Amino acid sequence: MSGGYITYTAASEKLNNKKELFARVIVDISADAVDKYFEYRIPEALRDTVGMGSCVRIPFGSGNTERSGYVVGITDTPDFEPERIKDISSLKEDAFNVESKLFALAAFMAAEYGSTYSQALKTVLPVKRRIRKNKRREDPVKRMDELKNDIPELSPNTEQSRIIEGIRSEYDSFIKEKNDKGRGPTPALIHGVTGSGKTLIYIKLIEYMQSIGKKSIVLIPEISLAYRTVTILSSYFKGRVAVLHSRLSEGERYEQYEKAVNGDIDIMVGPRSALFTAFSGLGLIIIDEEHEPAYKSDMAPRYDAVEVALKRAELEGAMLVMGSATPSLSSYERALRGEFKLYKLKERAVEGAVLPKVYVADMREELRKGNRTVFSDKLHELMSDRLKKGEQIMLFLNRRGYAGFVSCRSCGKVMKCPHCDVSLTAHNNWYFDKTTGKREGALLSCHYCGYKTYIPKSCPECGSKYIAAFGTGTQKLEAMTREAFPEAKILRMDSDTTAKKGAHERILADFAAKKADILIGTQMIVKGHDFPNVTLVGIIAADQSLFASEYDCAERTFELLTQAEGRAGRGDINGDVVVQTYDPSHYAIVSAVKQDYEGFFETESGFRKLMGYPPYVNMISVMLSSRDEGFLNEVSSRLESAIRTSFSSSRLPMGTQIIGPLNAGIYKVNDIYRKILYLKHPNHDIIIRIRESVKTFVRNMDKNDRIKLQYNWE
């Protein structure tokens, strides 16, 4: 082991069969205390079947409790006395064997993101249990194909052809060099305006990989994009596409994964977990909409799929291609430094299609004019015009539900979740009390822990009857739109309407088939979708995300607005966009209105450099959480004192910045209290060293595992 993690040997290496062989096994337990390998003797009967990646059953601990484990190495020279080493009980026949490269990837993730090795293994092995065949089980790709509309076959234009040839040339050169440079091919970043035809470039690169016997993984940020991506790819590559995402049943996930393992398909599509598809001969990884924060996992090992994809491409010698109309500042900065090859698409791909005309509606002026509706005069005018013409409209509001919060007008009390430090969101659904079985009233729910109750008839604080909902969510926007345009057919797409299986596909297919005039939704409707008949996009609250507590809120706002604007005018009819805002002069909104990525990058990167934020420094957040608030405060306080002592004694490297511990933005979630510590330093490896010191300090104080630690690269 090196640094607590495993140095791998190739799975194909055979050791002297005359000697006893021992397997180094990671036990399938997440506790830090067993985050290391254990040695087991390989019985004679299993010598020919146990290898790198095998899932085995082993006797574990003093009670010899049988557990599962993964073989991460084989040796004939064990670290312990052979007579003390137990035998492997059996090989799990119903578990996939995975190439050693995936185990090396798990080792990278454990070291990079501060997780246990077992957590990382569970991430790279998303499907482990064999599921019985079921004739009634429907293939998800077939289900999507049955809903799809006609998809034209297209030929690349001059700009697209130039990029395809450039990426192919980079990959071919790498293959000819036989990896003599000790790296993978230089990754490609495609910065193309919305509607510029990045998908066709992906298709042609996949075709090339197929022609040389290589497999491809296509990552999408969210399930809502699976329908569009899968239907397009399956129309080009009939029968050779599979999809993996969390809405599939266990049986469906297994069968899709099995197709990849057995070589029955060449292309796997899906969100983050599709990255770990056990393809033999992986040649291409595509990350569509690479800027999306959804590529960062919020569960242990809390990895960034873009960074892990870079590592997998390096291990596999595969080509990594990223595409976005609004690349993340980090990726664009790396492209400018030469770490990625930058390609640009400056025009829309459809002949004659141009970027939409954008109108800015200052909602302060609307209020002064006496307009108290959610629609500015300009948006109302254009919506009426499009409905008369039979053209389609998209309305984007990045908040689901009926209202943002409910409060008492008399005393100001806000109805909050009793388990989380957040206000409850109002939904226009009836709530049925489980104890009485009665319909009690409109639903209040917590979007963090799922707590539900009803809007009280009087204020629990002062007894006033003046309880009201404030703010607007997608559900309320839908009601307002129906009232303003009663003749319009409306669909709504948010996490409430897509909770059922297959709902994403049905809503998008119905809108594409023009069964609705208006599609209302959260950010899931503004990412990558292509509806040629949409000629108007209304952005209801452009600055809703602008004043969040995160340092990158301006970047997120710019991305969302630019992506939303890009849904209009993608066909042969020009489009319009109305951006409704209370702060029309903010640089993120001004740049988004102009579709000026370079201008936004220059301004935002200047602020980041000045204030010392990524991508110009490395920054990691360490979250400490516990149900015991008093103990959490004690550990946090003593940790801060220890850090200050390290500063005064010069034990911390020069240039280190430590902020906190601070209360998390939402201090309590599901009765768990949370503190955050931020670590900054220009050197990546120094941040990891300090993180491990923090981990050791907390563990030494917390012998009973009352504190949970989580780490996020920012």
Dump pLDDT digits (tens) for 343-352.
999 988 887 7
Whether the predicted pLDDT of 91 surpasses 80:
yes
Can you tell me whether residue 368 is helix, strand or coil?
Answer: helix
**How does pLDDT run across 293-308, given as a tens digit for each residue?**
999 998 888 999 999 9
Q: What is the pTM of this model?
A: 0.84
Mean pLDDT computed over 492-501 = 86
Residue 189 has a pLDDT of 98
Mean pLDDT computed over 193-211 = 95
**How does pLDDT run across 654-691, given as a tens digit for each residue?**
778 888 888 888 889 899 999 988 888 999 998 888 88
E strands within 446-572? 452-454, 467-470, 490-493, 518-521, 534-539
Three-class SS of 66-115: EEEEEEEEEECCCCCCHHHCCECCEECCCCCCCCHHHHHHHHHHHHHHCC
Residue 248 has a pLDDT of 85
Domains located in the chain, CATH noted:
22-124 (3.40.1440.60), 140-345 (3.40.50.300), 357-400+473-611 (3.40.50.300), 405-470 (no CATH), 618-713 (3.30.70.600)
**How does pLDDT run across 121-154, given as a tens digit for each residue?**
888 876 656 677 777 788 888 888 877 776 877 8
Amino acid at the residue 101: K
Whether the predicted pLDDT of 17 surpasses 60:
no
**How does pLDDT run across 592-624, given as a tens digit for each residue?**
999 999 999 999 999 999 989 999 999 999 999
Residue among 569, 507, 577, 506 at smallest CA distance from 540: 577
For residues 341 and 460, the model is more confident at: 341
Residue 384 has a pLDDT of 97
Whether the CB-CB separation of 305 and 274 falls below 8 Å is answered with: no
Peptide bond into 682 cis (omega under 30): no
Whether the CB-CB separation of 481 and 488 falls below 8 Å is answered with: yes
Whether the predicted pLDDT of 14 surpasses 50:
no
Q: How many CB atoms lie within 10 A of CB 213?
A: 9
Which residues does 381 contact at the CB level (< 8 Å), separation at least 6?
A: none
- Beta-bridged to residue 243, according to DSSP, are 269
Whether the predicted pLDDT of 188 surpasses 90:
yes
Q: Is the dihedral of CA 560, 564, 565, 571 positive or negative?
A: positive
pLDDT bucket at 3, cuts 50 / 70 / 90: very low
In angstroms, the CA 254 to CA 58 distance is 24
Can you tell me whether residue 161 is helix, strand or coil?
Answer: helix
**How does pLDDT run across 409-439, given as a tens digit for each residue?**
677 788 888 888 777 887 766 555 566 666 5
For residues 608 and 550, the model is more confident at: 608
In angstroms, the CA 564 to CA 562 distance is 5
| % of residues, the chain, pLDDT over 70 | 89
| % of residues, the chain, pLDDT over 90 | 44
CA 102 to chain CA centroid, nearest Å: 20
**How does pLDDT run across 338-380, given as a tens digit for each residue?**
999 999 999 888 877 788 999 999 988 998 999 989 999 999 9
pLDDT bucket at 500, cuts 50 / 70 / 90: confident
Whether the predicted pLDDT of 696 surpasses 50:
yes
Range among 16-20, 283-287, 362-366, 396-400 with highest mean pLDDT value = 283-287
Mean pLDDT computed over 88-107 = 77
